[in-house]
Amino acid sequence: MDRRRFLVTATAVGGGAAAIGAAGAGWRAHEAGLIYQDPAPFAPWFSLGQYGPGEREGLCAAAILASNPHNTQPWRVGLSDAALVVEADEARHLGAFDPFRREMWIGLGGAFGAAEVAAPGLGLALAEPQIAWSGAAGAGRIEASIARAAVAPHPLAAALAERRTNRAPYDPAPVAPDQIERVLALTGPVAGARIVLTGRETEAGRRLAAMTLEATEAINADAQMSRDGHVWFRNTAREVAEHRDGVSVATAGLSPVMTALGQMLPPVDAATSGRYWLASTKDQLAGAGGFGWILVDDLDDRAGQIAAGRLWQRLHLAFTAEGLAAQPLNQVPEMADRDRQLGRDGPWGKRVAELAGGGGRLTFAFRFGRPLKAVPHAARRPLEWVDLQGA
């Protein structure tokens, strides 16, 4: 996220709000969404019900609701004669946060995973995804042929339009083992990626939490990473309406009042916001029922990244179906990529490997738990904006 600015506002509100003059406050209230309201950025979340049996566009409508890095929505989506196509939009990347476009491709895998869950309810079946390359950094597309099938809604289909990243603290009590089992059964297997779940107070859980905090500090100290993440920050409701992407104060997991006030604050500098992001991360790590991560065989293999994205999408939908909340927390693998990109002998690759414990390469980390607070949806660009011409 602009993991700084948008988390910053929570704590900065007390001091900052008083400093806004009356005229400025009126303008900011308008821009923040207290007066200015536009439902269009959230319309895609309400569109799935309009697609009936055989309507292949419903696959695309589900794909664009997927979890994706920083809400960059790094995709173009379309239908060819016989296939669903999810293509990388290479311009929509996170720069130094994602130097190998690993997260971008996890997001593309997530889009495919969401379509896969929608398919049976539309009387459709998607074949295993095939990857086509174009050679440029990050570029390529996923194609999966579409067949007709009996209409039989997927058990996770109802969660597609309900899922959201919840960045508020959760109940810190562990989630009951039988509920975890139900989540894993609902998720099902995805070839090429594996889930590890652990409690907050296990040794592995404590290690992940400590490493995540330290990685947050390391990102704060990296000016390039800070800048590249910040590009995707949307400060006000008007900016969200204009771009329909990115992360925002509204999705930071704050109370409605704090959310409104947070959007009215003048921008803060990177150092200040970094401090608040760190504070928010501490709250998120303490307010977790458990942690988890996804392992693959090879971090750089696009097929593994797609598998990780499909698996995360299904897992997050399963948490949602079970009334649980989840939030990716990827500071640690992001720092490992950054060390690798800079060719420096940093500690992160080794630390991630130790955490993964020989069971594979850790490509994605998250927390989960019983939610204490409902959170709003993140914006989505409509299908018309991401349509893949001539797929």
| Residues contributing to the site for ligand FMN (CB under 6 A) | 1, 67-71, 103, 106-107, 110, 164-165, 167, 247, 327-330, 378
Smallest distance from ligand FMN to CB 230, Å: 14
Task: Report yes or no: 389 and 78 within 8 Å, Cβ to Cβ.
Answer: yes
* Nearest approach, Cβ of residue 73 and ligand FMN (Å): 8
* Closest CB to ligand FMN among residues 26, 172: 172
At residue 79, φ and ψ (nearest 5 deg) are -125, 135
Q: Mapping DSSP to helix (H, G, I), strand (E, B) and coil, where does residue 171 land?
A: strand
The C-alpha R_g of the chain, in whole angstroms, comes to 20
CA nearest neighbour of 319 among 187, 229, 218: 187
Contact (CB, 8 A) for 277 and 8: yes
Least distance in angstroms from the C-beta of 247 to ligand FMN: 5
Q: For residues 146 and 248, which CB has a smaller minimum distance to ligand FMN in the complex?
A: 248
| Residue 271 C-beta: closest distance to ligand FMN, Å | 20
Shorter beta-carbon distance to ligand FMN: residue 110 or 192: 110
Rank residues 104 and 175 by Cβ distance to ligand FMN and give the closer one. 104
Shortest separation between residue 328's beta carbon and ligand FMN, angstroms: 4
CA atoms within 13 A on the CB side of 50: 9
C-beta of 113 vs 123, nearer to ligand FMN: 113
Look at residues 135, 206, 200, 204 and name the one whose alpha carbon lies nearest to residue 172.
200
Q: Work out how close the CB of 36 gets to ligand FMN at its nearest, in angstroms, rounded to a whole number.
A: 21
Of 280, 282, 264, nearest to 272 by C-alpha is 280
Identity of the residue, 104 or 264, whose beta carbon is nearer to ligand FMN in the bound complex: 104
Instruction: In whole angstroms, give the CA distance from residue 103 to residue 95.
Output: 11
CB of 323 to ligand FMN, least distance (A): 16
Nearer to ligand FMN, 146 or 294 (CB): 294
Q: Where does residue 79 rank: exposed (0-12), middle (13-18), buried (19+ CB within 10 A)?
A: middle
HEC per residue, 203-270 = HHHHHHHHHHHHHHHHHHCCHHHHHHHHCCEECCHHHHHHHCCCEEHHHCCCCHHHHHHHHHCCCCCH
Q: Cα separation of 119 and 187, whole Å?
A: 16
